[in-house]
Amino acid sequence: MHEMAICLGIIQIVEEEVRHRSFSRVRSVCLEMGALSHAAPEAIRFCFAVVATRTVAEGAVLNIVELPGVAWCMSCSKSVEIARRGECCSCCGSYQLQVTAGEQMRVRELEID
């Protein structure tokens, strides 16, 4: 359940923003999550509600923008989208792929009062 630790990280970021800026309530939290990141959006949604309890983010709506995984194929020298690790290049079938995007887990923006 590293998703709990990840959600604690989200709450920590939100609380730091509360300290640096003057607002009292978070209406929504928008995350960016890559398809190749270390957590599944549905697990994050489940854990977020639990972790946000009795914090400034309690009751906040969680929006997750899911971003595709992208890899560079070393065989055919093309950039291709992959849904998960271990997939082959959709152009040439090679597994010689170097992931270039889709590993991120970021708090993109907050909607605040």
The footprint of another protein (CB under 8 A) covers 1-2, 5-6, 9-10, 12-13, 17, 21, 23, 27, 31, 38-39, 74, 84-86, 88, 95-99, 104-113
CB of 105 vs another protein, minimal distance in Å: 4
Cβ atoms 79, 70 nearer than 8 A: yes
CB of 67 vs another protein, minimal distance in Å: 13
Residue 27 or 78: which CB sits closer to another protein? Answer: 27
Half-sphere exposure of 22 (CA within 13 A, CB side): 0
Strands (E), 1-113: 26-34, 61-67, 69-73, 78-82, 97-101, 105-112
Residue 77 or 86: which CB sits closer to another protein? Answer: 86
Cβ atoms 69, 84 nearer than 8 A: yes
CB of 44 vs another protein, minimal distance in Å: 9
